């Protein structure tokens, strides 16, 4: 081997190592997606979200190695529509792991494409969070990794018909993010909004949109930083020259930074203060937008991409929520679908011929050819994805079902789907989330326990010789009934109450759950305690109203304690007695 061959071989090895290192960075992005989704949703579903993101990769690996990889990278067939499946990974292992000194090995290509496949699958998790059956999600995850992603990715990267035409999607704005975003939109529509998200009148028209806040902005921000870091591998892993890699890193830095600044200023002007969660979405939107043309843009082009992405993510997230009433808890559709489409078309508009890709963008050359090819690719892949994902979710919905029950959703998927009392075992769950639920319909009585046993009322004896003037009513009940009770008490004219989170048990100690194979007896069950002091409003009216709201016919519906109160003092004004109970200033 002469020195030229030696240098060439070394150069090939260096880029082969970077190719795999980039794949590892993309794998690390799964942690980022998990953290963003967990932070933007409620704590009672965190374990379920972690499990879904974990299984996206694991299920995806199994089905991708059995069929998906062959469909994507197999020998071209049917005029570039699909690859011919093969099992070379199993049957020709020796050649599969051996390179020819120039190209990447089959093993390298498999791992690289697998981590991208997992990214497409996990996008959907956020839009359907907090109300989707875990089994149904696993089925969806298997389908998208088995046939949906591999076939359209073959068109783009496997030697298929779009790549032959000159369609350019270097790292996946179209093949990954737009596809995942479209699937996320279809899934969110078919599973429906979370309970309490939209308030409807008697005719079924939405009259109010409620904000269901995520439980941890720090987790969401951590996820965004992990994703941005991983995105340097996501966009740059396939680079083969230092110049190309530098261009990719430059654009992968500029676009998300500009997008975030744009969203910060826009929401600051629009709402009076900069929106933290929307800015987190914006940096991801800028990354999605620049992905297709990361090796085709110059600094001006990536700046323009980021500028549009910063506005686009806000418009789409708010339009879906406020106008179309489609519940997407993490903004997956606005980030991935909208900006995946924008990034695809931006290549045809903003590609600089002097960039490593050498494409002729319309704004630089006046040539419409590339934008026409990009439009065709967008329409073809979008139509394919809509057809397959609609069929997939429809079949799942009609067979095993997409959505958990109302009771399971309110209680939280950690406990109902996975037997976890909480993903944060050392922290007491908050009652704030339950205070935001909207009462929908009448109470369903599903048990047979009489009211007197399901919600016993106990009169606590007064102090000897005392002359009680007021009555304190203490109600202990299931967390999910908090909003309904609050509304019912308000209708009686009660304007104040104290709400506390308590733990305890009576006859219903709870069924055993299992943690790492060991039975955990859930002795202490989470409940809510509401304290109300009344004078003018009849005590019996309060008790009967509470019983009507809380009763479902099961042991553990609640308990009501009644106490005599000698006096009430309002600290701020010094008022005592009846006047101290009034909220009128």
Dig out the tokens for 78 from the structure: 């049917």
Q: How far from chain centre, in Å, is Cα 296?
A: 31
Q: Are residues 158 and 189 in the same domain?
A: yes
Dihedral over Cα of 350, 353, 359, 364: its sign: positive
Q: Three-state SS across 23-74?
A: HHHHHHHHHHHHHHHHHCCCHHHHHHHHHHHHHHHHHHHHHHHHHHHHHHHC
- Pick the last residue of a domain from 408, 437, 455: 408
Helix (H, G, I), strand (E, B) or coil at 203: coil
Mark whether 247 and 146 lie in a shared domain.
yes
Query: What is the b/e burial string over 236-274, where b = at least 16 CB atoms within 10 angstroms of the residue's CB?
Result: bbbbeeeebbebbbebbbbbbbbbbbbbbebbeeeeeee
Token couple for 551: 């009763």
Does 354 lie in the same domain as 315? yes
- 423 domain-assigned: no
Domain span holding position 238 = 10-408
Token pair listed for 138 = 């696993």
- The residues, any chain, with a CB within 8 Å of residue 142's CB and separated by 6 or more, are 59, 60, 63
The answer to whether 330 touches 127, Cβ cutoff 8 Å, is yes
C-alpha 112: how far from chain center: 24
The C-alpha atoms of residue 573 and residue 585 are separated, in whole angstroms, by 10
| Co-location of 433 and 548 in the same domain | yes
CB 558 within 8 A of CB 476: yes
The tokens for 279 are 């800015």
Number of folded domains in the chain? 2
Q: How much is the pLDDT for 98?
A: 81
Residue 319 located in a structural domain:
yes
The reply to whether 353 and 453 lie within a common domain is no
User: Residue 555 has what pLDDT?
Assistant: 77
Query: How far apart are the C-alpha atoms of 87 and 110, rounded to whole Å?
Result: 12
| DSSP assignment string, 447-459 | ----HHHHS-EEE
Is the CB of residue 264 less than 8 Å from the CB of residue 321? no
Assess whether 470 and 358 both reside in one domain: no
Q: How far apart are CA 232 and CA 252, in angstroms?
A: 7
* DSSP assignment string, 334-350: IIIIIHHHHHHHHHHHH
CA-based radius of gyration for the chain = 29
Domain limit, last residue, from 408, 443, 467: 408
124 shares its domain with 271 = yes
| CATH number for 526 | 3.30.70.120
What sign has the CA pseudo-torsion 393, 399, 400, 405?
positive
Q: Is 4 within the bounds of a domain?
A: no
pTM: 0.83
Tokens of 344: 């695809």
Which CATH number belongs to the domain containing residue 203 in this structure?
1.10.3430.10
Rounded CA-CA distance 203/355 in Å is 57
Q: Which residues pair with 214 in a beta bridge?
A: none
Let me know whether 14 and 51 are in one domain: yes
Please count the CA atoms within 13 angstroms of the CA of 577 that sit on its side-chain side. 3
Residue 403 shares a structural domain with residue 516 = no
C-alpha 269/C-alpha 282 separation (Å) is 16
Report residue 184 as tokens: 């996320």
Distance, CA of 53 to CA of 41 (rounded, Å): 14
* Orientation angle between helical segments 217-236 and 3-39, nearest 10 degrees: 160
Alpha-carbon distance values, 107 to 93, 98, 122, 156 (Å): 9, 8, 23, 20
What are the φ and ψ backbone dihedral angles of 89, each rounded to 5 degrees? -55, -35
Q: d(Cα 274, Cα 457) in Å, to the nearest integer?
A: 49
Where is 518: in which H helix or E strand? Answer: strand 518-521
| N-terminal to C-terminal alpha carbon distance within the chain | 93
CA–CA separation, 21 vs 27, rounded Å? 10
Mean pLDDT, the chain cut into blocks of 10 residues (585 residues total)? 59 83 96 96 95 96 94 82 85 78 75 94 95 97 95 93 95 96 97 93 89 92 97 94 96 98 96 93 98 97 98 96 95 97 98 96 96 97 97 97 93 90 70 50 60 70 60 88 86 86 66 51 74 88 90 83 87 81 65
- The dihedral through the CA atoms of 535, 539, 545, 546 has a sign that is positive
Of 408, 443, 474, the residue at which a domain comes to its end is: 408
User: Pick from 340, 351, 235, 221: which is nearest to 285 by CA?
Assistant: 340
User: Based on the domain organization, do 380 and 456 belong to the same domain?
Assistant: no
Tell me if 5 is assigned to some domain: no
- pLDDT score for 101: 47
Residue 502 bridge partners (DSSP): 527
Does 242 fall in a domain? yes
Q: Which residues on neighbouring strands pair with residue 526, listed in sequence order?
A: 503
| CA 437 to chain CA centroid, nearest Å | 20
In a domain? residue 549: yes
381 and 506, same domain (yes or no): no
In a domain, 287, yes or no: yes
Residues 433 and 334 reside in one and the same domain: no
Q: Please tell me the predicted confidence (pLDDT) of residue 282.
A: 97
Handedness of CA 217, 218, 220, 225 (dihedral sign): positive
Q: Would you say residue 141 lies in a domain? A: yes
């Amino acid at each position: 081997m002469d020195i030229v061959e030696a240098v060439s071989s070394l150069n090939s090895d260096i880029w082969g190592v970077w190719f795999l290192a980039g794949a590892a960075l993309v794998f690390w992005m799964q942690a980022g997606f998990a953290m963003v989704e967990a932070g933007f949703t409620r704590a009672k579903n965190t374990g379920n979200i972690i499990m879904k993101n974990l299984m996206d990769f694991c299920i995806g690996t199994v089905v991708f190695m059995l069929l998906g990889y062959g469909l994507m990278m197999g020998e071209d067939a049917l005029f570039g529509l699909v690859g011919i499946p093969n099992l070379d990974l199993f049957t020709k292992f020796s050649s599969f792991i051996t390179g020819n000194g120039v190209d990447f090995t089959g093993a390298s290509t498999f791992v690289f494409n697998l981590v991208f496949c997992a990214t497409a699958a996990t996008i959907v998790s956020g839009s359907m969070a907090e109300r989707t059956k875990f089994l149904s999600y696993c089925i969806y995850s298997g389908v998208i990794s088995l046939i949906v992603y591999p076939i359209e990715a073959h068109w783009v990267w496997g030697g298929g018909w779009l790549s032959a035409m000159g369609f350019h999607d270097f790292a996946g704005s179209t093949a990954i993010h737009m596809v995942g975003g479209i699937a996320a939109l279809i899934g969110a529509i078919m599973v429906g909004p979370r309970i309490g998200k939209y308030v409807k009148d008697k005719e079924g028209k939405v009259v109010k949109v409620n904000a269901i806040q995520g439980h941890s902005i720090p987790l969401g921000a951590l996820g965004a930083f992990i994703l941005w870091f991983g995105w340097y591998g996501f966009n740059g892993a396939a680079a083969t020259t230092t110049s190309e890699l530098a261009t990719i890193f430059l654009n992968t830095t500029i676009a998300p930074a500009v997008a975030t600044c744009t969203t910060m200023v826009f929401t600051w002007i629009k709402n009076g203060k900069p929106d933290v969660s929307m800015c987190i979405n914006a940096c991801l939107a800028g990354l999605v937008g620049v992905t297709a043309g990361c090796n085709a843009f110059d600094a001006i082009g990536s700046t323009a991409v980021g500028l549009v992405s910063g506005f686009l993510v806000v418009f789409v997230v708010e339009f879906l929520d406020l106008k179309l009433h489609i519940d997407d808890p993490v903004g997956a559709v606005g980030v991935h679908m909208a900006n995946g489409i924008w990034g695809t078309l931006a290549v045809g508009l903003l590609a600089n011929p002097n960039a490593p890709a050498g494409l002729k963008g319309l704004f630089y050359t006046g040539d419409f050819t590339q934008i026409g090819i990009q439009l065709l690719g967008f329409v073809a892949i979008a139509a394919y994805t809509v057809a397959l994902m609609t069929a997939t979710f429809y079949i799942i919905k009609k067979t095993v079902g997409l959505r958990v029950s109302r009771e399971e959703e309110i209680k939280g998927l950690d406990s109902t789907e996975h037997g976890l009392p909480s993903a944060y075992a050392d922290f007491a769950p908050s009652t704030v989330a339950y205070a935001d639920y909207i009462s929908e319909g009448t109470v369903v009585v599903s048990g047979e326990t009489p009211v007197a046993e399901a919600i016993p009322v106990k009169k606590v004896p007064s102090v000897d010789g005392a002359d009680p003037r007021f009555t304190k009513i203490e109600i202990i009940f299931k967390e999910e009934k908090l909003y309904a009770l609050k509304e019912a008490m308000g209708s009686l004219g009660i304007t104040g109450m104290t709400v506390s989170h308590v733990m305890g048990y009576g006859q219903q100690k709870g069924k055993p759950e299992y943690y790492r194979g060991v039975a955990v007896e859930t002795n202490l069950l989470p409940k809510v305690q509401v304290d109300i002091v009344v004078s003018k409003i009849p005590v019996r009216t309060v008790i009967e109203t509470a019983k009507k709201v809380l009763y479902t016919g099961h042991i553990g519906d609640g308990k009501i304690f009644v106490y005599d109160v000698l006096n009430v003092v309002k600290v701020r004004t010094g008022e005592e007695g009846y006047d101290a109970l009034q909220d009128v200033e």
